[in-house]
Amino acid sequence: MKYSKYRALIFITGALLFNRIPAFGAETAKRDIDFTIRFFDKRIYYVAEDPIIVQVTVANNTPQPYRFHLADERVFSVDFDVRTVSNRSIEAADPLIRKRSTSQQVFFREIIVESGESFSFVEDIRDYVKFSQSGAFVVQARLFPGLYRGKASAEDAAQNGRVLESNRLSLNLRPPSIPGPAGIPLEMDVETNAVLVREKLPPDEVVQYTLTARQKSQWEKFFLYLDVESLVTRDGARRRQWLAESEEGRRMMISRYRSELQNAVIDGDIATIPTEFTIERTAYGTEEGTVVVLEKFRVPTGNYTERKRYTYTLQRRDGIWTIVDYVVLNLGTE
């Protein structure tokens, strides 16, 4: 494999940079450079379905800048060691094996993390390991600051402290989900492990179910009747990105949207917890309906309550009503 920072600067540039990276074997890196992973969108995972996205973070607690190389193909910078509770290593994913065994140029960029700062990116564990059965697993990530250069080189780098190792995560994979009525996938209640099934509720009961779930912070129930794809693409910019993405890219967009919604990063209106709500009006035909709801929100920083009127748009597919859009009208305070 050839390593290149830019297409016109092959290997020489990379070789010059290698000598400037203090973390490649420095003992301080093990003590003062934090390399951590966490689930980006903690949810119930199944053996062969949605991506398992983790956020990878490199934090610099040293007084000096920390430099490392991040390859465009992340498999040359990161690796995931996934084991069963009996310490059996999980087989590597086929795409990872092909990429690492093919003679190719590896393009990378130098990342500089200043003192007291951190750098993060997300990766799908399924790009690194192949899950063939359900069960409990332990996940640990490794970062190769000088890039992955083969198994033997990686083992030598690990033995000499030139590889950063992350914390460990517990991962539970369930058997394949069972299709529900009309082929609709079943969801699981995180709290009770009971199967959540979309029922053929009228539009007003769908909205009531969703808002009640939000009041109780029951996220799986909150998402049960939300058409997340429609909500993601209601914004013009995200819709253009959606149309340009591959199927895998779209799944990642949905995963990020769910996570950002839960963390109140985007669309705070629909995810804000109402202290109380009243359904004022419901109208629907055979395929589309609207539900108008008066919602009240207690403002924690002031002694008053905000009043808003939500108009939820729902569509019916295969007999199931789901929320596809909404608009909000501010009514002032009381």
How much is the CA Rg of the chain, to the nearest whole Å? Answer: 24
Domain holding 51, by residue range, is 2-174
**pLDDT tens-digit series, residues 185-199:** 445 555 555 567 788
Q: Are residues 216 and 307 in the same domain?
A: yes
Structure tokens at 292: 């108008």
Report, as an integer, the average pLDDT of 119-125: 91
Could you tell me which of 212, 60, 64, 84 has the C-alpha nearest to residue 143? 60
Q: Are residues 110 and 212 in the same domain?
A: no
Q: Are residues 128 and 154 in the same domain?
A: yes
Beta strands in the chain (DSSP E): 2-6, 9-10, 33-39, 45-46, 53-60, 66-71, 78-84, 105-113, 118-124, 135-143, 164-174, 187-188, 195-196, 276-284, 288-298, 305-317, 320-333
Residue 173 has pLDDT above 70, yes or no: yes
At 160, the pLDDT band (50, 70, 90 cuts) reads: low
Give SS3 for 132. Answer: coil
**More confident call, 236 vs 296:** 296
At 234, the pLDDT band (50, 70, 90 cuts) reads: confident
pTM: 0.48
Q: Are residues 146 and 67 in the same domain?
A: yes
CATH of the domain at 80: 2.60.40.2360
Q: Are residues 220 and 107 in the same domain?
A: no
Structure tokens at 17: 């940079």
